[in-house]
């Protein structure tokens, strides 16, 4: 007698390292997710939740370690767009793989105190590739408004930039992400209260309806940036600007990301750097926060 049976899927249990930014989502009750995008070195999962990040990147060591990433030491499972997955109760279940984070890294490590007078000029980031929105009026308005402390102009420009440009992470979002992370880190490191206040207003502006105005992946990265969380390449560039490590190698690695993402992020970092320098005069500085 022939018995027809379906082959039972064997689940492989592995461990990895994850960004602390995804810990609340991983440790929340188990929820369904769907495969949003598949690449040779990573898979993006969109979780049905109101928590952020709502998109988690499951990546190998060859991928950029995004602030919403879970790092897999082995190979990626075979999955396709739209496949079901589950996230929560401490693990990511993807295909035949069950991944549990055992180690965590900080996607927003503090810089420590920095003398604002020691910061290099924004020209230190010039000539590092061509940003996707080079010469765009909204970017120019954003830069001028931030440096002068004109809140209305900065918020208006930011609203225009959310979702602007093609790709999984549009150029406008990358510029805003670079700016937000820089304002958070250099503002705190230099004790520039006005830069931190500006970061708060811009963060509220770009995350308010990001899910409806840009891609799910980019919306999640904007939420991360609003908290000062970013990939190691951006953090290394900020450490270089703060004199904590060599600047040139860090900028080369940053600007090598993606087609224009690195240059776009660097453009945002440059705007943030100029803003902190401009707002950090003795009359402008408040307490460290």
Kindly report, residue by residue over 56-76, the tens digit of the pLDDT.
999 998 899 999 999 998 888
Three-state SS at 147 = helix
> CATH number of the domain that 62 lies in?
2.40.50
Q: What is the mean pLDDT of residues 74-100?
A: 89
What is the share, in percent, of the chain residues with pLDDT greater than 70?
A: 94
Strands 42-47 and 84-88 turn out to be: unpaired
Shared domain for 142 and 81, answered yes or no, is no
Residue 129, both tokens? 């590739």
Residue 82 is predicted with a pLDDT of 82
What's the CA gap between 209 and 207, in Å, rounded? 6
pLDDT: which is higher, 127 or 278: 278
Residue 77 lies in a domain: yes
Residue 288 lies in a domain: no
Residue 289 lies in a domain: no
Shared domain for 27 and 139, answered yes or no, is no
Mean pLDDT of the chain: 91
Residue 269 is predicted with a pLDDT of 98
**277: pLDDT confidence band, cut at 50, 70 and 90?**
very high
Shared domain for 250 and 156, answered yes or no, is yes
* Residue ending a domain, choose from 84, 105, 126: 105
The greatest distance separating any two alpha carbons of the chain, rounded to the nearest whole angstrom, comes to: 89
* Residue ending a domain, choose from 67, 83, 105: 105
What's the CA gap between 242 and 115, in Å, rounded? 8
Q: What is the mean pLDDT of residues 50-57?
A: 90
Count CB atoms within 10 A of the CB of residue 81.
11
Count CB atoms within 10 A of the CB of residue 128.
20
Residue 8 is predicted with a pLDDT of 47
Q: What is the mean pLDDT of residues 47-60?
A: 90
Comparing CA positions, the residue from 219, 138, 235, 231 lying closest to residue 173 is 219
Three-state SS at 217 = helix
Strands 97-105 and 42-47 turn out to be: unpaired
What's the CA gap between 105 and 22, in Å, rounded? 10
Q: How far apart are the first and last CA of the chain?
A: 75
Residue 62, both tokens? 């060859």
**9: pLDDT confidence band, cut at 50, 70 and 90?**
low
Strands 97-105 and 91-94 turn out to be: antiparallel
Three-state SS at 157 = helix
* Residue ending a domain, choose from 72, 105, 138: 105
What's the CA gap between 181 and 272, in Å, rounded? 8
Q: What is the mean pLDDT of residues 200-213?
A: 95
Does residue 86 register a pLDDT over 50? yes
Residue 284 lies in a domain: no
Shared domain for 265 and 130, answered yes or no, is yes
Does residue 7 register a pLDDT over 80? no
Residue 50 is predicted with a pLDDT of 84
Shared domain for 139 and 41, answered yes or no, is no
pLDDT: which is higher, 288 or 76: 76
Question: Quick check: pTM over 0.85?
Answer: yes
What is the share, in percent, of the chain residues with pLDDT greater than 90?
A: 79
CB-based burial label for 100 (10 Å; 0-12, 13-18, 19+): middle
Q: What is the mean pLDDT of residues 185-207?
A: 97
Residue 22 is predicted with a pLDDT of 96
**Structural domain harbouring 88:** 12-105
Shared domain for 249 and 169, answered yes or no, is yes
Does residue 96 register a pLDDT over 60? yes
Instruction: Compute CA distances 64 → 61, 95, 206, whole Å.
Output: 8, 22, 23
Residue 195 is predicted with a pLDDT of 97
Does residue 285 register a pLDDT over 70? no
Residue 1 is predicted with a pLDDT of 41
Instruction: Report the number of distinct structural domains present in the chain.
Output: 2
65 and 2 Cβ atoms separated by less than 8 Å: no
Shared domain for 131 and 228, answered yes or no, is yes
**33: pLDDT confidence band, cut at 50, 70 and 90?**
very high
Shared domain for 99 and 126, answered yes or no, is no
């Amino acid at each position: 007698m022939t018995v027809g049976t379906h082959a039972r899927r064997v689940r492989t249990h592995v461990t990895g390292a994850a960004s602390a930014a995804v810990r609340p989502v991983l440790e929340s009750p188990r929820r369904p997710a769907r495969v949003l995008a598949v690449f040779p070195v990573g898979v993006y999962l969109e979780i049905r939740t109101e928590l952020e990040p709502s998109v988690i990147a499951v990546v190998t060591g060859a991928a950029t370690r995004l602030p919403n990433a879970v790092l897999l030491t082995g190979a990626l499972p075979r999955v396709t767009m739209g496949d079901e997955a589950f996230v929560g109760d401490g693990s990511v279940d993807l295909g035949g793989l069950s991944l549990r984070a055992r180690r965590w890294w900080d996607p927003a490590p503090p810089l420590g105190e920095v003398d604002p007078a020691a910061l290099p000029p924004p020209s230190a980031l010039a000539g590092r590739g061509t940003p996707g929105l080079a010469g765009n009026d909204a970017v120019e308005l954003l830069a001028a408004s931030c440096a002068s402390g004109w809140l209305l102009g900065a918020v208006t420009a930011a609203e225009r930039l959310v979702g602007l440009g093609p790709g999984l992470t549009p150029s406008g979002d990358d510029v805003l992400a670079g700016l937000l992370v820089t304002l958070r880190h250099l503002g705190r490191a230099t004790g520039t209260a006005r830069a931190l206040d500006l970061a708060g207003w811009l963060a509220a502006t770009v995350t308010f309806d990001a899910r409806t105005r840009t891609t799910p992946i980019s919306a999640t990265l904007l939420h991360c940036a609003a908290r000062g969380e970013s990939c190691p390449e951006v953090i290394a560039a900020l450490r270089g600007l703060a004199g904590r490590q060599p600047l040139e190698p860090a900028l080369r690695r940053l600007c090598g990301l993606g087609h224009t993402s690195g240059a776009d992020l660097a453009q945002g970092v440059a705007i943030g750097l100029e803003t902190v320098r401009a707002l950090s005069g003795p009359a402008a500085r408040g307490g460290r926060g």
